[in-house]
Amino acid sequence: MGCGRVGATLAGMLTTEGHEVTILDTRADSFRRLPTGFNGKKHIGNGIDQDVLARIGVGDADAFIAVTQGDNRNVMATQMAKHIFGVKRALCRIYDPIREEMYRDLGLETISPTIIGATMLRDQLNAQHSEEGG
Amino acid sequence: MYVIVVGGGKVGYYLAREILREGHEVLVIEQDASKCERIAEELGDVVLRGDGCEATTMEVAGFGRADMAIAVTGDDEDNLVSCQVAKAMFNVPRTVARLNNPKNQEIFRLLGIDTTVSATAAILAQIEQELPTHIVIPLIKLAGGLELVGVKVPAEAGVVGKRVRDLLLPHGSLIPLIVGQDGAPRIPTGDTTVQAEDEIVAVTSTENEEALRIIMTQP
């Protein structure tokens, strides 16, 4: 759910690995970001609408991943996938580290790019620094 | 009682005003500066500008001592998350969420939101009271001015308990199928009896639709 840079790239990776992928976005022009080799299904619709999730077959999915720009949209859609449609793996991107931790405690598989990005930049900076220092 | 209202649009504003009038302490959280200004002008110092789903703002707002959190923004995802954070991180005893999409009632309930309120559902309930519940639904148009229709038999209808052969159907009408309340279809013979809440599937002419409806539904 969400065909932004991350969603499109991830969808491309997963199809290349041989998985069956469906991508959902509210805007048709978002699909231009998909790599040329993408052979999965594309659906236009709002992922926090139960009817939309049912229509695109979320109930049959092994995993659901929400990567829209909205933390709350991601959280709501992922919880619907998990609790209404019984999807086993429900992954969700949450920028806000506090909410990320909270929803991890509530049983979602969450990723906060804020913490990951900041940590990687810090590590990169420190590595450079110690190279110069040594 | 200390009540926090998340969302300072029209619903949030009037809600806060009424809660104040009842003599309770209230705080509205709203992101939009001009809405905050309007609330402050009209209701006084009862508004905090910020994101009502963000823990740091919620801490400043005093969610930790709130008796009730009511999320009434125009976005269900924001109302859901605000209530979930209020419960999980601040142990707010009672959370109420406004639903914009009435279908979200199920997921909100599953996720522990205490109360949901949907204007859409309330208005729909009013409309349904006004509409006749037992109407003839056209299913398929057939040749020769005939059509296949469905009509539900209310429990109080006079036809309940009657055999199909005793029904005074409009001229040229017949009943090829009856679907019971449990969804089980019956191919009726003359001896089949009509039961309450049966869905009668009938072939009739367009001009006899109303006559069929009266026969099948009147007490």
A96-113 tens-digit pLDDT: 999 999 999 999 999 999
Q: Per CATH, is B2-127 categorized as 3.40.50.720?
A: yes
pLDDT for A52: 96
Choose among B38, B28, B96: nearest CA to B62: B28
Determine the pLDDT at residue B145: 84
Q: Does A69 touch chain B (CB under 8 A)?
A: no
Say if residue A133's pLDDT is above 60: no
The per-residue pLDDT for B130 is 64
Q: Does A83 touch chain B (CB under 8 A)?
A: yes
Q: Where are the domains of chain A?
A: 5-133
How far from B3 is each of A4, B36, B67, B88, B124, CA to CA, in Å?
A: 38, 17, 6, 17, 29
> Which residues make up the CATH 3.30.70.1450 domain(s) of chain B?
136-217
> Chain B closest CA to A87's CA: distance in Å?
14
Contacts of B113 (CB under 8 A, 6+ apart): B80, B83, B84, B87, B95, B96, B97
Indicate the pTM of the whole model: 0.74
Which site among B54, B58, B59, B77 would you substitute to test the A interface, given the most A Cβ atoms closer than 10 Å to its Cβ? B77
- A71-83 helix and B76-90 helix, angle to the nearest 10 degrees: 80
What CATH superfamily classification does A5-133 receive?
Answer: NAD(P)-binding Rossmann-like Domain (3.40.50.720)
Contact B81 A84 (CB under 8 A): no
pLDDT reported for residue B194: 94
Contact between residue B60 and residue B66 where contact means Cβ atoms under 8 Å apart:
no
Confidence of residue A49 (pLDDT cuts 50, 70, 90): very high
Q: Kindly state whether B111 is in contact with chain A, defined as any CB-CB distance less than 8 angstroms.
A: yes
| Beta-carbon separation of B81 and A76 below 8 A | yes
Identify the CATH class of B136-217: alpha beta
Give the pLDDT band (50/70/90) at residue A129: low
Residue A30 has pLDDT above 80, yes or no: yes
Digits of tens for pLDDT over chain B (219 positions)? 999 999 999 999 999 999 999 999 999 999 999 999 999 999 999 999 999 999 999 999 999 999 999 999 999 999 999 999 999 999 999 999 999 999 999 999 999 999 999 988 888 777 766 666 667 777 888 888 888 888 889 888 899 999 999 998 988 899 999 999 888 899 999 999 999 989 999 999 988 888 888 888 888
Q: Is residue A122 packed enough to be buried (19+ CB in 10 Å), middle (13-18) or exposed (0-12)?
A: exposed
The average confidence (pLDDT) of chain A is: 94
Per-residue pLDDT band for A75 (boundaries 50, 70, 90) equals: very high
Verify whether the Cβ–Cβ distance A79 to B104 is below 8 Å.
no
Q: Which residue has the tokens 């969603």?
A: A7
